[in-house]
Structure 1
Amino acid sequence: MRKLVILGAGTAGTMIANKLRRRLDRHDWAVTVVDRDDQHHYQPGYLFVPFGGYSREQVVRSRHAFLPDGVDFVVGSIDRIEPAENVVHLEGGRRLPYDQLVIATGTTPRPDQTPGMLGSEWRRSIFDFYTLEGAEALAEALRRFEGGRLVVHITEMPIKCPVAPLEFTFLAEAWLRERGLRDRVELVYVTPLDGAFTKPVASAHLGGMLEERKVHVETDFMVERIDDDRKTLVSYDEREVPFDLLVTVPLNMGGDFVARSGLGDELNYVPVDMHTQLSTAYDNIFAIGDASDIPASKAGSVAHFSVEIFVDNFLQHVAGRPMTRAFDGHANCFVESGDDKALLIDFNYDTEPLTGKYPLPVVGPMDLLKETRANHLGKLAFRWIYWNVLLPGRPVPLPALMSMAGKHVAPTESDKEA
């Protein structure tokens, strides 16, 4: 019997287990999923925890509850992979041989990688919200916050959900206004990028929204260290940004076992073909979702859309046929903007976020690059969809590849001249 081992029972790993278990012959294939614990976190929910929107019970469920019959779920930490031997070694000595391996272990915040971040001010005046514990601690800090300099900071790209720091800034600004504290708070957004976002069209739009909300933006800021005695961010070019309350996004990295296995780049992401997610080094290893080095957003939507393409390709691959489908980097993200409104952006490797309607032309019902209450409700509704449709691998009536239907393309200078 052939063995498929999936490392990681997060979004991508769980979806793959559900979809492939239905399509692989149970007499021919054994499917094993490995993760370090039995707690599946709805990570988009972390954003709302600091503002009292979600509780722990609403964002954490059992991993095994979402895995289908016929899948062996192993709780254990991964020590290393021996690709030449086709074996995964778990801490404690257990060995898991495989014929095909899928690495779906995601990416993790690493505050230990920035000098001073884990110093005396950690979880006192320095907080993250990319972990549930950090988001809960930040909720307490915000309740005590009465004014001063609130700095939202990104250490380095790539990060999970690159719009989340912007969303936090917009929500914080609205939250402060609601409580009559906005005039007492200086809001600063510090980014290593040259603008508010990675894509120029969206960056200009989102940057304008920050300006409207009187948020100062400090761009091209590569943090060298945090001086926790002076409560100051210090960049490599010696710029300084002082803070009273710092909400930081630490460096994100893939699993350390990837480095120990000789499979990763400098941030422990697995180099793969950007269209098929097949390892560039081994013909029986795939990396899906945040664990790979594809030049797409590390976001749940990318995991979802890429899994749809991957499943068909995987079945062709193990049957000895060429993989015929190509993932295009499709991502769409709701961007909370405060006051019960949100934007929606839809883009891929080659196409910028554009204005228009999504998913259907004219009728939408979602507006692209426009703040609406419908988009906010869509963001809230996604939690139910995630638990009940996406994770179980049920069909979602959205195209995996980006569609230009309903989008407005600005005319070029040559179009105008014509």
Structure 2
Amino acid sequence: MKNLVILGAGTAGTMMANHLRPKLYSNEWNITIVDQYKTHYYQPGFLFLPFDIYSKKQVKKVGKKFIPKFVNYIQKKIEKIIPEENKVVLEDETLNYDVLIIATGSKIAPEETEGLIGPLWKKDIFDFYTYEGAVDLRNKLRNWEGGKLVVHITEMPIKCPVAPLEFSFLADTYFRKKGIRDKVDITYVTPLSGAFTKPTCTKALNYLLNEKDIKIETDFAIESVDNDQKEIVDYEGRRIPFDLLVTIPTNMGDEVIEKSGLGDDLNFIPTDHNTLQSLAHENIFVIGDATNVPASKAGSVAHFQAETLTDNILLYIDGYPLKKEFDGHANCFIETGNNKALLIDFNYKTEPVHGNFPFAKIGPLKLLKESVLNHWGKLAFRWIYWNMLLKGIAIPFVSRNMSFKGKVFDIKPEEK
């Protein structure tokens, strides 16, 4: 009996368990998935919690119900990976593996910024990248009467790079509906030189920021948070005051990656961009937010990665060369407020494009263009997530690699 072990039962790990169980259902392979947490969260829903668009029950379920039959589920803390011995040390037992899939995700690390966890934390400074943070922020916004709202990104990479912008746009709509938008000054602060990581998308988003009277501060490399003066301070001494700070702290890989000596400075694992195999250990594969690949840390990306990784696990087991297939494909809805959203589609080498999605001629979704239909597509994704994505069911008409049919390029891939 050979052992395949999956570390992490979040989005990526659960999908891999569902993809692989039917294909390895034999007496030759034993599949085990390990996660210390009982609850599975629909993390894209954290964006909507602060604005009372989603309820708490809509973004969390018992994780075990999504693990397929005949997969061993262990709810314990992972202490360390020992790749030289093909072992994973848990809190009170050790697992041996022949193939290891690391899907331990990423988490916020507010302690990495001086003063962020200070007297104002959870009072006037909040995150929404955790369930608890999103709920606390919801409670704050319900009674907040206005002032300087600063939406701030500490550094890249982060989970769902568009979420901070979406929060800013939704905040604009939220305060308009409450009749206090004239009392709220919204500033979007980013370490990037523009609104987003991709220049084509930045054009569209800058327009929306201007239209909604949201100020933008770029190239802001935060050094500290001054709790006394209620200001964020960058390394050049620039200061931005706030009454309410909504921050996206540094995102880092799980601490077990650091303990195991497998990660970079942010605990993300060096991973082949196209095969998703660990660069250091051939029988270790990495998926989702745990990787260091230059793709968005988002659920859609993990979904596309899972399809390629499933094929490559099977090829590896049978002794064949791996597919150098994954192209960094991502498609993301960007909520822009007022029941509208943009949709972007891109990969490692291609900027977000104009055109139709998923069908070249008829869409019905439009790329890089606001629409009500895109907004409903964003909301529909929650059902798709719980009922298809986690269960390893392919989304109809959406290919793992980026399709160029019917697409219009502002920047052609070969020009980059």
| TM-score range for the pair, normalised by the shorter chain length | over 0.9
Q: Shift of residue 113 of structure 1?
A: 1.1
The corresponding residue for 1:232 is 231
Q: Which residue of 1 aligns with 2:375?
A: 376
How is 1:51-200 mapped onto 2 (pairs within 5 angstroms)?
51-91=51-91, 93-200=92-199
What aligned pairs does 1:324-363 form with structure 2 within 5 A after superposition? 324-363=323-362
Q: Closer, same or farther in 2 for the Cα pair 1:102/1:188, shift >3 Å?
A: same
CA distance 1:238–1:307, shift in 2 (3 Å) = same
Is the counterpart of residue 284 in structure 1 residue 245 in structure 2? no
Give structure 2 stretches of 5+ with no counterpart: none
Instruction: Report the alpha carbon displacement of residue 147 of structure 1 after superposing the two structures with TM.
Output: 1.4
2-side partners of 1:37 and 1:26: how far apart? 28
Q: Deviations over 1:339-373 (max 9, x none)?
A: 00000000000000011110001210110001100
What displacement does 1:71 show? Answer: 0.3
1:379 match: secondary structure? helix
Deviation track 1:178-218 (CA, whole Å, cap 9, x = no partner) reads 11111111110000000000001001211111011111100
Which sits farther off after the overlay, 327-336 or 136-145? Answer: 136-145
The answer (yes or no) to whether the contact 2:200–2:411 under 8 Å persists in 1 is: no
CA distance in structure 2 between the aligned counterparts of 1:239 and 1:171, rounded to whole angstroms: 27
The separation in 2 between residues aligned to 1:35 and 1:25, in whole angstroms, is 22
Per-residue displacement from partner, 1:165-190 (whole Å, max 9, x unpaired)?
Answer: 00000000011111111111111000
CA displacement, residues 221-264 of structure 1 (integer Å, 9 cap, x when unaligned):
01111011111100011100110000000100001110111100
Q: How does 1:238-317 map to 2 (within 5 A)?
A: 238-317=237-316
Q: Displaced runs of 4+ in structure 1, greater than 3 A?
A: none
CA distance in 2, matches of 1:251, 1:326: 30
Partner Cα separation in structure 1 for residue 206 and residue 125 of structure 2? 24
SS at match of 1:314: helix
DSSP 3-state at the match of 1:359: strand
Which amino acid in the other structure matches residue 36 of structure 2?
A: R
Gap runs ≥5 in structure 1: none
1:140 Cα deviation after fit: 1.2
Show the counterpart of 2:28.
28
- Matched residue type, 2:290: A
Is the 2:351–2:411 contact (alpha carbons within 8 Å) kept by the matching residues of 1? Answer: no
Q: Distance in 1 between matches of 2:68 and 2:138?
A: 36
The alignment partner of 2:85 has SS state of coil
Q: Distance in 1 between matches of 2:240 and 2:408?
A: 39
Q: Give the whole-Å Cα distance in 2 for the aligned partners of 1:261 and 1:28.
A: 28
1: CA distance, partners of 2:41 / 2:190: 26
Per-residue CA distance 1:79-116 (angstroms, 9 max, x = gap): 1100000000012x310110000000100011111111
Specify the code of the residue in structure 2 equivalent to 1:69. K
Give secondary structure in 2 for the equivalent of 1:84.
Answer: helix
Give the letter aligned to residue 16 of structure 1: M
State the distance in 1 between where 2:361 and 2:340 align.
Answer: 20
Do the aligned residues in 2 keep the contact of 1:359 with 1:406 (CA within 8 Å)? no
Deviates more, 1:387-396 or 1:153-162: 387-396
Q: CA deviation at 1:411?
A: 8.3
Post-superposition shift, 1:318?
Answer: 1.0
Amino acid at match of 1:274: H
Deviation track 1:385-411 (CA, whole Å, cap 9, x = no partner) reads: 100011011122210000011211248
- Which residue does 1:201 correspond to in 2? 200
Q: Tell me by how many angstroms 1:325 deviates.
A: 4.4
Q: Tell me the SS of whatever aligns to 2:6.
A: strand
What amino acid is aligned across from residue 332 of structure 1 in structure 2?
N
Q: Is the 8 A contact 1:312 1:325 kept in 2?
A: no
Provide the aligned C-alpha RMSD in A. 1.1
Q: List per-residue Cα deviations over 1:281-311 (Å, max 9, x = no partner).
A: 0010011000000000000010000111111
**What code does the residue aligned with 1:401 have?**
N
Aligned to 2:392: 393
Say which SS state the counterpart of residue 311 (structure 1) adopts: helix
Shift of 1:36: 1.0
Q: Corresponding residue for 2:13?
A: 13
- What is the deviation of 1:125? 0.3
Distance 1:154 1:361, change over 3 A: same
**Aligned partner of residue 26 in structure 1, secondary structure:** coil
Q: Secondary structure at the match of 2:204?
A: helix
Q: Percent identity?
A: 54
Q: What is the identity, as a one-letter code, of the residue corresponding to 2:74?
A: V
Alpha-carbon distance in structure 1 between the residues aligned to 2:142 and 2:225: 24
TM-score of the pair, normalised by structure 1: 0.97
Question: What SS class does the counterpart of residue 139 from structure 2 fall into?
Answer: helix
DSSP-derived class of the 2:205 partner: helix
Q: How high is the TM-score relative to the length of structure 2?
A: 0.98
